[in-house]
Amino acid sequence: MEELIEKLKVQIIKQLNLEDVEPDEIDPNEMLFDANGELGLDSIDALELIVLLDKEYGIKIKNQDEGKKIFHSLNTMAEYILQHQN
Amino acid sequence: MKKNIYINGLSNISPQETFYQPMGATIAPPQGAFFTCQEPNYKEFIQKKLLRRMSRIVRMGLATAHKALDDANNPSLDAIISGTAWGCVKDTEKFLETIIENKEAYLTPTAFVQSTHNTVAGQIALLHHNNCYNMSYVQGNVSFESALIDAMLLFYDNKANNILVNGIDEQTEKLGILLERLECAKAGVRVMGEGAACFILSDQPTPNTYAKVAGVNMLYRPKDKTAVQQSIQHTLQEANIPLEAIDVVLTGNKTLAIEKELFPTADYSQYKTLCGEYPTSTAFAMAVGAQVLKGDLPTKTALGIHKKAPKHILIYNNHQDINHSIILLSKVSA
């Protein structure tokens, strides 16, 4: 799980072009889509993350409500990947 | 009805150090195959969270818009008009590369959203919470001139008091290769370049006014040299400026046949030796020309202008005998 989280951090930084953000600075429990949060991701980033999951892990997210839970934090993303990866 | 149009604020990102201060005497040479802009620290002007999604051209457009507005004491804008030939070419490349790499699957939205030519003008409007007239001209080598003419028409129709106009294009390695293949940029003829120049035009002068835009004209495939000369003369006549009153010609051309016949006593400066060849390079020329008319000595020196106090500057560019453009600037007190 930890290894996957570290990998996800690097992939997210690259995919979302998070300039000046180092992997160590991302708290795995932090809300990804908190407007006042450190990362403060938005709806376009959500689309980028959906593409990332599909491209890198072969996981398709079709249900919007499910997406909200999966992309709550890095931890929830990693858990979902571990449960659903082929 | 015709009106005087004043440049009340400007900002210029170019291959020379022109953003934080007027161009100095030390001239920066091209970096490798083409001239590359000396860019400012964008974090001074754009929030970090917004910055990450912006390509270079968007950053350059926003930074110059911010600084030009500041320079003009932040007037309320009635129009935002952008001129760009290549648009957000880096994001276009990124989007197309993703299509190829991912075999037309997994396309991400950011590069696509940002790849359209009107991104810069749109982002300026968004950041400044401005929902006024917003237009982008993609008109090849006269994109900037087209934007200028649109602004002039808005002034003449009393539809605007303050207008932001910019001329902006970015260079990439791939674009350079493509232009060479298309013979738009012939190797050894001219070093390619890039730049972003932004102007706040107004129908009233202020203590910060740089110069007056006395005339703009464009020609498409003129039949001969005489047609070009007539067009230049016509532009001057409309502005009531005699030929001999032109002190400086900022020319985008290597050969100066037309210029020297019409203006034998003027000073000449081949401005593309400072910014390189790109479709909206006349915006660079207009920025430095306006600074010279305001009395900026370092810029005058960098351009190699010897006339003591130039009053009228003519900018003339001929792109491959297809697009010719003329911009006439006058000192405000002239």
Per-residue pLDDT of chain B (334 residues; tens, 9 = 90+): 778 999 999 999 999 999 998 887 788 988 777 899 999 999 999 988 788 889 999 999 999 999 999 999 999 999 999 999 999 999 899 889 888 988 888 777 788 888 899 999 999 999 999 999 999 999 999 999 999 999 999 999 999 999 999 999 999 988 888 887 876 656 556 789 999 999 999 999 999 999 999 999 999 999 999 999 999 999 999 999 999 999 999 999 988 888 889 999 999 999 999 999 999 999 999 999 999 999 999 999 999 999 999 999 999 999 888 999 999 999 997 4
CATH architecture of B6-202: 3-Layer(aba) Sandwich (3.40)
pLDDT above 90: percentage of residues in chain A: 47
pLDDT, tens only, B173-197: 888 888 878 766 565 567 899 999 9
Tokens at residue B296, please?
A: 């900026």
**Minimal CA–CA distance to B211: which of B3, B8, B2?**
B8
CATH class of A2-84: mainly alpha
Q: In what order do the strands lie in the sheet with B211-220?
A: B133-137, B79-83, B162-169, B195-202, B6-13, B211-220, B323-330, B312-319, B248-251, B267-270
Residue B59 to chain A, least CA–CA distance (Å): 14
Please classify residue B18 by burial: count the beta carbons closer than 10 Å to its beta carbon, then call 0-12 exposed, 13-18 middle and 19+ buried: buried
Nearest to B110 among A40, A48, A55 (CB): A48
- B-chain CB neighbours of A13 within 8 Å are none
Quick check: A44 and B53 CB within 8 A? yes
Local structure of A66: helix, strand or coil: helix
For chain A, what are the domain ranges?
Answer: 2-84
Give the relative orientation of helices B89-101 and B56-71 as an angle to the nearest 10 degrees: 160
Whether B6-202 and B213-330 share one fold: the answer is: yes
> What's the pTM?
0.91
Q: Which of B53, B105, B106 sits opposite A17 (nearest CB)?
A: B53
Residue A2 distance to chain B (closest CA, Å): 26
Report the C-alpha gap between A21 and A41 in whole angstroms.
Answer: 13
Q: Domain coordinates of chain B in residue numbers?
A: 6-202, 213-330
* pLDDT for B103: 86
Are the Cβ atoms of B106 and A51 closer than 8 angstroms?
yes
Long-range contacts of range B129-136, CB-CB < 8 Å, 24 or more positions apart?
B130/B77, B130/B80, B132/B77, B132/B78, B132/B79, B132/B80, B133/B78, B133/B79, B133/B80, B133/B81, B133/B159, B133/B160, B134/B79, B134/B80, B134/B81, B135/B79, B135/B80, B135/B81, B135/B82, B136/B81, B136/B82, B136/B83, B136/B84
Say if residues B28 and B7 touch (Cβ distance below 8 Å).
Answer: no
Task: Output the tens digit of pLDDT for each of chain A's 86 residues.
Answer: 889 999 999 999 988 888 778 899 999 999 999 877 778 788 889 988 998 999 899 999 888 788 889 999 999 999 999 998 76
For tokens 């997406």, the residue is: A67
Amino acid at B229: Q
Angle between helices A43-57 and A2-15 (to 10 degrees): 120
Nearest to B109 among A19, A47, A55 (CB): A47
Longest dimension (CA), chain A: 35
Q: DSSP for B289-312, please give it.
A: HHHHHTT-HHHHHHHT---SS--E
Show which residues on chain A lie within 8 Å of chain B, measured between beta carbons. Answer: 15-20, 40, 44, 47-48, 51, 54-55
Task: Establish, for the pair of chains A and B, how many residue pairs have beta carbons separated by less than 8 Å.
Answer: 27
**Cβ pair B332, B312 in contact under 8 A:** no
Q: Residue A67 — φ and ψ, nearest 5°?
A: -60, -40
User: Which of B106, B109, B110 lies closest to A54 in CB terms?
Assistant: B106
Are the CB atoms for B65 and B200 separated by under 8 Å? Answer: no
Distance of CA B179 to the CA centre of its chain: 20
B222: left (phi over 0), alpha (psi -120 to 50) or beta: beta
CA-CA-CA-CA torsion for B286, B222, B182, B109, nearest 10 degrees? 50
Write down the residue that tokens 């091209």 correspond to. B30
Tell me which architecture the domain covering B213-330 has in CATH: 3-Layer(aba) Sandwich (3.40)
